[in-house]
Amino acid sequence: MFADAVSMSVLHRLASAPPGDVEKLLAAHPDWIALVRDHPPTPDEISEWWKSLDSTSAAALVSGAPVLMGNLDGVAYGARDQANRKTLEREITRLRAELEDLDSLDAAGWEPGYGVGGGTGAQKVMIEQQVANLTNIEGALRSPRNAASRYLIELTGDMPPLAAIAIGDLNSARTATFAVPGMGTTTRDMTGWTNAAQNLFDEQTRVSQDGDRAVVAWIGYRTPPIPVSQGGFDVLDNTLAEQGATNLSSALSGASAVREDTLTLNVLGHSYGSTTASIALTRNSTPRVDTFVTIGSAGLPSWIDSASRLNVGAVYSGQARNVMPFLENQQGDQWAWTGRTSTSHPVDPTNSGFGGNAFGADGDNGMYPVTDHGVLVDSGKGWGYLNGGTESLFNAALATTGKGDEVTPAVEKGLTDQQTMWRDVMLSGGGSL
């Protein structure tokens, strides 16, 4: 496309500028960043261009154009991490300075807070929220003691930002697993999603000592809100999944381009994240993925009615016992099945007819059972799909380390006491209260 070619010419122009002039060029042409962001060359083109640069030019681009370099799929991940950390630090500093300026205003300087986004008070709240988002990302970058290093490989200017943190070095890892979140997950809790990814990384290391690996806590798309408590019912539609699939396809293509097909790729999708990932894995622009894992799937689109529709080597899916929302807390997954009531994404990948491999998540082998739809549940309140010690985490780690033949099988669960009671009431014609 013409716009893509123009974007490539912009990158060549920036790379050929004297090192100290990159930032000046962007200041003189503020539209360049948006042009490249909205019409990027392919990750393969970006990778070829980046690898052609000498170290001085590459360093000048990271220093002078961090917002641009940090989010270009195809740029080496070490450079993206440096660029994004620079952007993160700058943005937190800038926003905190804005808050100080607002706090210095006396009461007469405050505008009334009427209308959408109106008033200094409303402006201050928005800035405070963005600072909280960014500092949560900053906190998520801190690795536990003696753990693998973390890299900030994506950071956008959205509210809240989109971001991705790699646990382990994608420049050298032999295997990478992109973990895609579901409804209600934003970078406001980047720490939580990164902790879940760390659990997967640690379990992969425990079940397989074969080679370097990385797990990417990828919040690279706008997830649907939790219905009612956070917003509407976008989770029942495929619109956000389609948008997210475009971003995920580019991210996977970037990983493949940087490593020149020497990297084994896996994708894990939780809840609506499995919907998003499944769409990405049907697109011609997406590189072939070795293993696709779904946990607590909100359902795949109706046209992805079998594993053969996906450009993957194997599909593994875990689902805890279906329970009723609000009425059967801490007994199983209360939301996944409700997502699959949508006509937009009704396909259950754990069904035998789908052609994937269903694995256990209910703790039938002495491991902890999944007792909630979330990935992490606080200690003493049950277990989510990626809590340590769960059958679900164990099986997800096996599937993403080439040991899928060792996963524990799914065991059909009977009705809960509550479900049995309601069944009996319906069979008896309603009974009396």
What is the CATH number for 257?
Answer: 3.40.50
- Total domain count for the chain? 2
User: Residue 9 belongs to what domain range?
Assistant: 1-75
pLDDT tens per residue, range 222-278: 999 887 667 667 888 999 999 999 999 999 999 999 998 789 999 999 999 999 999
Q: What is the residue type of 325? A: P
CA distances from 143 to 56, 172, 192, 294, 318 (A): 30, 18, 13, 26, 28
| pLDDT at res. 104 | 84
Residue in the structure block whose two tokens are 């694995």: 359
Q: Which stretches of the chain drop beneath a pLDDT of 70?
A: 1, 106-119, 228-229, 231-232, 417, 419-433
- Which segments of 262-306 are extended strands (E)? 264-270, 289-295
Report if residue 131 sits inside a domain.
Answer: no
Give me the chain's average pLDDT, please: 91
| pLDDT at res. 234 | 80
Domain boundary pick from 16, 42, 75? 75
Report if residue 141 sits inside a domain.
Answer: no
Domain boundary pick from 75, 109, 135? 75
pTM for this predicted structure: 0.93
| pLDDT at res. 324 | 86
Domain boundary pick from 27, 43, 75? 75
| pLDDT at res. 416 | 73
Contact assessment for residue 39 and residue 4, using Cβ atoms and an 8 Å cutoff: yes
| pLDDT at res. 60 | 97
Report if residue 181 sits inside a domain.
Answer: yes
